[in-house]
Amino acid sequence: MLSIILFSLLSFITGAATPGEAQRAELLFVGDAMQHQAQLDRAKELGGDRYDYSDCFTLIAPEVTAADYAVCNLEVPLGGGPSYSGYPCFSAPDSYAKALKDAGFDLFLTANNHCLDRRDKAARRTLTALDSLGVDHIGTYHDAAQREKSVPFIKDINGIKFGFLNYTYGTNGIEPAEGIEVALIDRPRMADEIRKTREAGAEIVVVTIHWGVEYVLLQNKNQEDIAKFLTDQGADLIIGGHPHVIQPMKVVRNEKEDKDVLIVYSLGNFISNMKTADTRGGALVRAVVERDDDGVARFKYADYDTFFSAKPAGGNSNFKVIPSWMPEKIPAAQKAHWELFDRGAQRIFDKHNVNVPRKHK
């Protein structure tokens, strides 16, 4: 009896499945976490030198923390100040990343076209700052040797081993000058790292990828070709970003390995100061993995929701991510913008999604 009690207590603490209980893990993904100049200016107005982001994610945080593991694309270097900047060469304070961590994000993606905006020094400082926050991060590395040591990155989530990889199409023409390592979309390298990740024990391989054409609501042939390549290499989840607008998501069949694969072409913006209707929000996707009776962990299903990136609405308000299922929280002056974004996203998803439904109607 004592052993049963101890096992149950250990299972509660670790999240491991109890005897007879199926192992299950829910992952959550959002798109591009931006910091434009207006966002920086507002955070400074509210917090002084501290840069206050404490109210940006309070409404979405319960959804993020409800997942077993949550992933965001940090599309800004953490340059360390004293000056910070928005587009075209981003640099944000550490308090921004801390706010994302406090909202519940566990894994920060750093391979994107803006990761070298403040050159190698800031790219390396970003890694050091994320380490100090105690969050996971992949995609850029201090040098090639660290990449070799850090890949594969495998995380045990509720007793299921997930391998995560992150790649970008480029870095806006800025070349590494001091040996910083950026994981680029390179088919032989990706295939090799997927293989190594699987050989290291990953049961589910997640490839997060920065690709596509900005502001275009449908994926292009290049994205489709790369997604097919990654599927053929055995990836289970393929999660895309970069276009700053949403693109379709679908479940496809890998007949060779007899399994379903989730492909998300773009999750759009998570938070930003962009102004056109399609860029005013984004999507989150939840992916559920379960271990079957045969002992094999498999991707089971996914669903999505949308959210709106609201601008400050007077008083002490800040830029704020507002879930679409909380329309009463959207400032009255911005409801028309939210409706344009959400209806546009819904049209794309209704027409082009395959087996990825919306959770909150």
Q: Which helix or strand (DSSP H or E) is residue 240 part of?
A: strand 237-241
Give CA–CA dist 198/204, Å, rounded: 8
Is 13's pLDDT higher than 60? no
Partnered with residue 293 across adjacent β-strands are none
Q: Could you tell me what percent of the chain has a pLDDT over 90?
A: 90
What is the separation of C-alpha 143 from the centre of its chain, rounded to a whole number of angstroms? 23
Instruction: Check residue 345 and give its pLDDT.
Output: 98
31-65: pLDDT as tens digits: 999 999 999 999 999 998 799 999 999 999 999 99
Return phi, psi of residue 24, to 5°: -150, 140
96-139: pLDDT as tens digits: 999 999 999 999 999 999 999 999 999 999 999 999 999 999 99
Give CA–CA dist 164/151, Å, rounded: 9
Q: What is each CA distance from 328 to 55, 163, 308, 332, in whole angstroms?
A: 17, 39, 12, 9
Helix pair angle (119-133, 94-102), 10° resolution: 40
Helix pair angle (221-232, 187-199), 10° resolution: 30
What is the separation of C-alpha 87 from the centre of its chain, rounded to a whole number of angstroms? 20
| DSSP count for the chain of H helices, then E strands | 9, 16
Average predicted confidence (pLDDT) for the chain: 94
- Residue 104: CB partners within 8 Å, gap ≥ 6? 61, 64, 65, 67, 70
Partnered with residue 42 across adjacent β-strands are none
